[in-house]
Structure 1
């Protein structure tokens, strides 16, 4: 019996990176998982999970499309009869200097990182309230609320907004025994991190990733499954007295006062 046995989890952005890592860990702990993403790859991930004896379905969904979300939630309810846990993980990051960033790129971040979380939560919340129980886990970031690098204005703004959303929603939903918490990862070895590295240095992205890892006190990037372990804790009854919290999981990357002073 795993800590999530009997629970049904709806996970967005589950086709790669952190979302895929969370899906695998949730399944390992006994949850029935609904994998939601735009990519066809979620079909492959769901099939692999089923081949290993887990219960999983894939639903194609663009979190920036409200109709897509509603249809995906209906599919999940039809398959498993309920949803206990929502993991709002889908997110995007496109680097760009503030004065050079187009309104389209700004709105791309807002539509996915903020509206996607808003609309997915709104679609699933009635099921949690009906059961007088639920867990909402939101993937924010250390970027925005705590730290930032040049070119991350849109990403940082939207990820910081999710912390405010988490805290306010947690207060509002406490009466229904619904916990709302945010995970704030630092650098994780994902396709997004690799993409950002390529945007920074198209010719030597591996050098960028190594430089990032060297600046982290634990000297490495996190694996997606490590974020999944924290998400599983927050999705389980072990976290029943934790709500409205942002939990940092960054290998200590936000600890150094500077990277140039020391003994």
Structure 2
């Protein structure tokens, strides 16, 4: 029996990047998927997975809007009758000079999607997990904010650090309901989001920025989204039944170096 067989799993931000990687891994392990994202591409991914013999339903959802998340919960209940695992993956990262001209749109966008989005999705879906007798919530944080940061990342780092606090407090909140809550803290993963960051930091040669990132990682590469998906699947199933309220780093060792030159 596959480790997620028969489990109903809701994944936000599931149309591309890490979310798509998680969806493919969860499908491989037998989950019934409800894939959520703002754009129509999530419907295409659900259709693609169904054509491969997996169970998947795509729903267009704006996680920054609580009523939209409630709609997601209603569709999931109507389709499958329960929820076992919620993966809060939807998020953005837009670099911005903190001291530059600021109308606070970038700040508010990160708060609305990265923080409120997780709050809204969890608030909407959690009652289904409670009714089902327990399950798991997996939250996509980052090494950025909680452990490290680079220039231009103040809004992103703030939002992702907040999710560590949310994870710990929520884990304590629902422990007596047999629900585990854990965060994943990825380093650099080869996704459209990271490619966009590379484009912002080196518009003429974004591939140079990607190579520079990889060269600084002890394992000398960026992660594949499905590698993060494997960790998300572990945290979403019974194999991690005694793990809650923690954050797990998956970064190829990028947060290990104490300096960039010692021993080189």
What TM-score do the two structures reach when normalised by structure 2?
0.98
Deviations 1:184-204 (A, max 9, x none): 000000000000000001110
Tell me whether 1:6 sits opposite 2:6 in the alignment.
Answer: yes
Partner of 2:179: 178
What is the rounded CA distance, in whole Å, between the counterparts of 2:103 and 2:241 in structure 1? 42
- Cα distance, 1:67 vs. partner? 1.6
Look up the match of 1:129: 130
Deviations, residues 49-94 of structure 1 (Å, cap 9, x unaligned): 1111100000000111112111122111111111110000000011
Spell out structure 1 runs of 4+ moving beyond 6 A: none
Q: Distance in 1 between matches of 2:214 and 2:36?
A: 30
Query: CA offset at residue 261 of structure 1?
Result: 2.4
Displacement, 1:112? Answer: 0.2
Deviates more, 1:252-261 or 1:104-113: 252-261
* Residues 14-59 of structure 1: per-residue CA shift (max 9 Å, x gap): 0000000000000000000000001111111111111111000000
Task: Find the counterpart in structure 2 of residue 223 from structure 1.
Answer: 224
Secondary structure at the aligned position of 1:248 is classed as strand
Structure 2: gaps of 5 or more residues: none
Count of residue pairs brought into register by the alignment: 263
Cα offset for 1:260? 2.2
1:226-251 Cα deviation digits (max 9, x unpaired): 00000000000001100001000000
Whole-angstrom CA distance in 2 between matches of 1:221 and 1:127? 36
Query: Where does residue 73 of structure 2 map in the other structure?
Result: 73
Find the aligned partners of 1:76 and 1:33 in 2 and give their Cα distance.
9
Alpha-carbon displacement from aligned partner over 1:165-193 (angstroms, at most 9, x marks no partner): 00011011110010000000000000000
Question: What is the TM-score of this pair, normalised by structure 1?
Answer: 0.98
Measured on the aligned residues, the alpha-carbon RMSD in Å equals 0.8
**Cα distance in 2, alignment partners of residues 230 and 90 from structure 1:** 17
Give the unaligned 5+ runs of structure 1. none
